[in-house]
Structure 1
Amino acid sequence: MAPKVITFSFDVGNGPVELTVHSAAPLNDDQWHRVMAERNVKESVLQLDQTYRASRLAPAQGHTRLELFSQLYVGAAGGQRGFLGCIRALRMNGITLDLEERAKVTPGVKPGCQGHCTSFGMYCRNGGKCVERYNGYLCDCAATPYDGPFCSRDVGGFFEAGTLVKYNFMPEAVAGASRDAKTVTHQLTPHEVNLTKEEVSFSFSTSNAPAILMYVSSKTQDYLAVVLRQNGVID
């Protein structure tokens, strides 16, 4: 099960208190997540990524001060399974703790959180986003018109006048070349079809207008179209 839960627990003498926030997405995705945990005489608060928040009011009576005399452990405690990853911008009671300097003299902890993308991110071409992994990196090409390990493979097509590419959404359609020599048909597999929403994104360049960039219709009168008008307006 992917970890999606962060907890903040403490005991000031009134019994243990635990706050929990649940993330919609897994937290072991090698992306940065910001945690803020606070306890004062009025309430306790736990916040994750400025999106998820949990709070609890302090009891009206009882102990309010937290008296700690042990060392502060970061990354593990009491022989428990240690943290594998990077921690930065650690602040406690308004004081920034220099993890980099302490890491230089701590076996198994390396200073800095630069990661692989600092050294190899330039290999993600054409606007691809470098994403950190524990043992390397990958290039996310989702927001680009390119594909491949380094977003260098062009997945676009040049359309001559009067040509089109056709994708079949209906399962009874047959993939292959149509009778029109200027049309190529492709069958979409079930996992490529989303029946709950309609979303499309693409880039284009042209010197001719007007033009139909995309059109799809149903057996009823429903349709969806993206059109370039004569005046240069997209609608």
Structure 2
Amino acid sequence: MRKILGILLLASSCAFAQDAELVINDLSGGKVDAVDATRIRDNSVSDTRNVLFDGIYIAEKRKGMTKLNTTAVGGGSAIVTQGEYRQSDGTRYHMLASGTSLYSRLSGSEFTVTTNTLSTTYPPDFVVYMNTFTVVDGVNNMKSWDTSTVFTQDATYQPRYIHVWQIRLWIAGDTTDGLSKLRCSEFLDPSDYAIAANPVAKDPAVFDINSEDGQRIICHT
């Protein structure tokens, strides 16, 4: 009797183990967009190829992009650079350069040509300073835009790079002035780069790095 009972128990155990191995989870739960262990069940899969993290660090699927305009800016020319022009009153313009033109967009999907006299030799560089948008291209004199008028900020230099630091404009990469020279404007005056005979702290200054190797100078703070 004991032998028969032992055989029955062994047979039951084998049958139970065999049944557990044959259980196959389906995917009827579909895809889960959020990577959260409490939301991904045994019958679900996570869809996380394009994700961002929310305020509590849960990864969620990125919602995608919205098409801004239907007409190509610049007549099909490549957009080489873009950025933001934020004024002191909070007004924000979307700025971009394509071909020889600088475009601005305040709202909606239409871009307006601000100036069409940029050079295509180098990609333009720009900053926002003293509530104006200033752009350089390494060939022409630096230009500024105050939302109504485009004017020449300085008629001496044609820098390729421009930066704002310590309430001054900093320029570099001028082929006529010297590629290794870094200049800063007068304090609170982006139009003055003249070196005074007896300079004081607020006057313009020039720094010669003395490399003259033709390599670009990039500034950051």
| Structures share fold, TM-score greater than 0.5 | no
TM-score interval for Structure 1 and Structure 2 normalised by the shorter chain: under 0.3
Q: TM-score, normalised by structure 1?
A: 0.22
Max Rg structure: 2
